[in-house]
Amino acid sequence: MSWNYSESEFIKIYRRMLKWEWYTDVNTKVLFLHCLLKANWKDGSWHGVPYKRGQFITSLPTLADETGLTIKQVRTALSHLKRTGEVADKTYSKFRIITVLSYDSFQTVGRQKGRQGAGKRQAEGRQGATDIRSIRSIKNIKEDKEEEQEISDEQAREWGWID
């Protein structure tokens, strides 16, 4: 289950994570960060199996291989994350779908804000930098926004993301 992510894709991680109860548990932290990185930002399907935003399809051996943890460490970390409501999973015969329950609180729907300070430099009369990377970035944000769609509270409840 190899995924091809572009180098321009990103996730947000808030500093409040430093106070998270599993932050000092290295294996659980590694697995949760991996889940955030692997979670899909929009609905889709893999081999006819549908998944929702905030979910990804994997297996214990794949998670172990991708994180450098043993299968037992992955199982324990996954148990921690399920017990405290960070993730949920549904197991099938050869794979599982993991749902990051707090995905929308980490990854907001909608357009990202521009770099801070850019407007201030313009106001101070300095020339703003316009290069090909900035133009591509703006183009990618516009394309991503066109593909995104709002998720209603009803859908989030149906997917088990909120109570």
Q: Residue 66: which CATH number?
A: 1.10.10.10
Q: Classify residue 20: in a domain, yes or no.
A: yes
How many domains, the chain? 1
Q: What is the pLDDT of residues 1-22, one digit of tens each?
A: 445 566 667 888 888 889 999 9
Is the model's pTM score more than 0.85? no
Q: Classify residue 62: in a domain, yes or no.
A: yes
Domain limits for position 45: 15-107+148-158
Q: Classify residue 136: in a domain, yes or no.
A: no
Q: What is the pLDDT of residues 52-65, one digit of tens each?
A: 999 999 999 999 99
Q: Classify residue 120: in a domain, yes or no.
A: no
Supply the pLDDT for residue 11. 82
Spatial distance between the Cα atoms of 119 and 123, rounded to a whole number of angstroms: 6
8 A C-beta contact, residue 41 and residue 151: no
Q: Classify residue 47: in a domain, yes or no.
A: yes
Q: Which residue numbers in the chain have pLDDT < 70?
A: 1-8, 108-163
Supply the pLDDT for residue 7. 65
Supply the pLDDT for residue 147. 46
Q: Which amino acid does the sequence have at 122?
A: Q
60-67 vs 71-83: helix crossing angle, rounded to 10 = 100
